[in-house]
Every structure is written in structure tokens, then in C-alpha cells.
Amino acid sequence: MRIIHISDFHLRDPGCSENAAQHASFLAACLRELAKRFPDTAYCVVTGDLADDGEPAAYRWLRDQLESLPFPTIPLLGNHDDRDAFLREFGDQGSDQNGFVQSEVNTADAKLIFLDTVKSGSDAGTLCEARLNWLKTCLQTSGDQPVLLFMHHPPCKIGDPIMDPIMLDNAEAFEQVLQQAGNVKHIFFGHVHRSIFVNWKGLPTTSLRGPQSYAEGSQTKYSMTACIVDLEGEALQITTVTLSQASEASQLQGEYPLETRITVR
């Protein structure tokens, strides 16, 4: 089973400015390129901060882009998102009984659990009692299946003085739930805007960066990463793919290439 993990689009209404339009155009090109190169993807998961300030127009644009992909997509929320605005555009098919944007998918290879870690009025995240109880039930009903968790906020510190204070604010309670279940294979998160791996309390976690602008001469260009997650039996492989407008981006050559670089137009 293959999953594409992407995150932190920080979209604005593409019609509000030239920069917003360029940002959206680059993201659309990246989505097309991922669909072209990885057509056998089972799910594409976007771990939050879909919009930069919760604009309905940004969600509307993103909904149309995601619906055009040849595989199902599962968008989650981050601290920059507006839950009500998101639900108006995407509908409530990905919500639990308490209105949180979280869900589960059972596959032949694993159970996938998607969490809503948004804490109203805060850049930090949380999993309230209702969300933790929902998670407990999901984990208890997974049987012998391994579990892959997807969320926006990291459950652990990453050594960054800006990001560490706005991680998941009740990580200890979250950890207790996971340790009691004992079936979580990997945690994927966003929020930190960098490709990073952390072994947290014996649980492997992975993050990545969303679209970022940079200067190439007098031009503004964009780059982002995607994680291609392949699960086969007990083996989980994560390949980082960099999508960039850099003129010399190309696939690294060698016997053991660690990263794929893709030029998008």
C-alpha cells in the first residue's frame, strides 16, 4: 500500500495577490506531478494548515484541486485553519460524532487514523478528552493490524525554540493511550516546516515541509517535499521527494539514491 503524505500548504485566496496566485499555481503543479508519478497511491493525506488564515476561497480552490486527483485525499486541520470554514467547503464526511475533523480507514495492510489536534485560539495543539476517547476506541478495534497515525501538531519536542512551545500540549496523555494500545507503527505530522525524524518514547515519527518560496536570481521560485510511504507486510519505507522549480532539479543518481528531486513547471 502506498500513501502520499504532504502538509502545510498555507494557501490564500489565489485571487487576492500575485504571490498567492503563484503559490497556488506551484501547488497545483506539484499535485499533478505526484498523481502522474505515483498513480498507484491508495491515499493522499494532507496534515493541516491547508489555508494560511482560514479563507473560504482558499478551501474552495483546494477542494477542487484535490477532487481532480485520481486517488482519495484526506485533508486534516492545523492551527492556521478554520474548522467551520473548512467544513462548509469540504462537508462533514471526515468528521467524528463530536464535529472534529478526524476519521479512520481500515485497509488490508493497516489501520489509518487521522486526528484533529486544533486548539481554538492557540497555535499549540491538543487532544481533549473526547478526542482521546475516540482514539482509544479506534486503537482497541484495530485487532492485529498495525496503525499509522496522521496529525498536524508534533507530540514531541524537535529542539526548536519557536516550535517546541506550540507542540501538542497534552503529549503525556496522548502517549499513555498509544502505549496502552501498543499497536502504533508510525506517526506522521506537519507544523514544523522541515523534513525531520524523531524517535519519541520508542515510537517513530516523521514530518516534512510544505511549499516555501526562495530567490533564484531575480525570480521567486517554490519548493516543497512529499513523503512517499510504502507499507508491505511489516516493512514501512518512507522516501522523501523534493518538488522544486529550480532549473537544475533532477533525480539524484547512484546505487543508493536517498532522495528524488522533481522539477515542476
Residues 6+ apart with CB under 8 A from 192: 154, 158, 160, 163, 207
Residue ranges of the domains in the chain?
Answer: 2-263
pLDDT at 244: 85
Beta strands (DSSP E) in 18-102 are: 43-47, 73-76
Residues of the chain with pLDDT under 50: 248-258, 262-265
pLDDT at 171: 98
pLDDT at 245: 80
pLDDT at 215: 79
pLDDT at 265: 42
pLDDT at 2: 97
**pLDDT for 214-231, tens place per residue?**
877 878 888 999 999 999
pLDDT at 251: 42
Place of cell 493511550: 177
CATH of domain 2-263: 3.60.21.10
pLDDT at 249: 42
Query: What distance in Å separates the CA atoms of residue 100 and residue 77, rounded to the nearest whole number?
Result: 9
Residues 6+ apart with CB under 8 A from 241: 34, 225, 226, 227, 228, 259, 260, 261, 262
